[in-house]
């Protein structure tokens, strides 16, 4: 498996580690249903997913990878956040 790092180009999977679904962190520090969803509830879709991957053995960038769980197809990847120097 290979992932298309926006900075480094297509790279072998062993350079990356996986974190899970790309979700927005709820605002505020108080526990509530939004936090429960963020931490525990996942859709597990058959089809397109957005996942967080860390290019730890590469550029150190966190990526949002769009992947199709049915076709095993990686559709693309973008940086998860704006780099500080941008």
Partner 1 sequence: MRIDGKGRGIDHSRVLRFSFDGQGYEGVAGDTLASALLANGVRMVARSFKYHRPRGIMTAGSEEPNALVTLGRGAAQAPNQRATVVEMHEGLEARSQNRWPSLGFDVLAVNDLMAPFIGAGFYYKTFMWPRAFWERVYEPAIRRAAGLGALSGVAAEDGHERAYAHCDLLVIGAGPAGLMAAWAAAEAGADVILAEEDLAPGGRLLAEAEEVDGIEGADWAAGLARDLAARPNVRIMTRTSVTGAYDGGTYGAFERSAPGMAARHGAPKGCFWRIVARRAVLASGALERPVAFAANDRPGVMMAGAVRAYLNRWGVAPGQSAVVFGNNDGAHRTVADLQGAGVHVAALVDARTGVECALDVPFYAGAQVTGTSGRRGLEAVMVATAKGEVRLAADCLAVSGGWNPTVHLACHMGARPVWDESLAAFLAPEGAVPGMEVAGAAAGRFSTRACLASGLEAGLRAARDLGLPVPNITAPPAQDGRYDILPLWQVPGRGRAWLDFQNDVTVKDVVQAAKENFRSVEHMKRYTTQGMAPDQGKNSNVAALAVLAAASGRTIPETGTTTFRPPYVPVPVAAMGAGARGKGFAPERLTTSHGASVVRGAPMIEAGLWYRPSYFPRAGETHWRQSCDREVAMVRQSVGVCDVSTLGKIDVQGPDAARFLDFVYTNAMSKLAEGRVRYGLMLREDGHVMDDGTCARLGAAHYLVTTTTAAAGQVMRHLDFAAQVLRSDLDARAISVTEQWAQFAVAGPNARDVLAGVLDEVPDLPFMGFGEVRIGAVAARLFRISFSGELGYEIAVPARFGAALSDLLVARAEAMGGGAYGMEALNVLRIEKGFITHAEIHGRVTAFDIGMQGVMSTKKDFVGRAAASRPGLMEEGREQLVGLKPVGEIKEILAGAHLFDEGAEAVSANDRGYVTSACYSPTLGHVIALGFLARGRARIGERVRAVDHLRGSVTICEVCAPGWVDPEGGRMRG
Partner 2 sequence: MADLVEKSPCAGLVPVAAGALRLSEIALGPITSVAPYKGQAAAVAAMLGAQGLGWPAPGQVIAQGAARVQWFGLDLALLIGVAPGAGLADHAALADQSDGWAVLRLEGAGAGDVLARLTPLDLRESIFGVGQTARSDLGHMAAAITRVEAEAYEIMGFRSMAGTLVHEMAAAMTRVAARRTSPAKGR
Q: How far is the CB of 83 from partner 1 (least distance, A)?
A: 7
Shortest Å, Cβ 77 to partner 2: 13
The reply on whether position 1 binds partner 2 by CB under 8 A is no
Cβ-based nearer residue to partner 2, 7 or 21 = 7
Q: Where are the beta strands (DSSP E) in the chain?
A: 2-5, 9-12, 17-21, 48-54, 62-68, 73-79
* Cα distances (Å, whole numbers) of residue 73 to 8, 36, 65, 68, 82: 19, 30, 11, 5, 25
Q: Rule CB under 8 A: which residues touch partner 1?
A: 1-2, 10, 12-13, 17, 19, 25-26, 28-32, 35, 38-39, 52, 54, 56, 60-62, 72-74, 79-84
């Amino acid at each position: 498996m290979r992932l298309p790092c926006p900075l480094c180009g297509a790279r072998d999977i062993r350079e990356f580690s996986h974190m899970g679904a790309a979700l927005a962190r709820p605002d505020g520090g108080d526990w509530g249903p939004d936090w429960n969803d963020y931490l525990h509830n996942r859709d597990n879709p058959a089809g397109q997913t957005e996942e967080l991957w860390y290019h730890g053995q590469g550029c150190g960038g966190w990526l949002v990878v769009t992947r199709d769980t049915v076709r095993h197809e990686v559709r693309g990847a973008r940086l998860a956040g704006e780099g500080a120097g941008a």
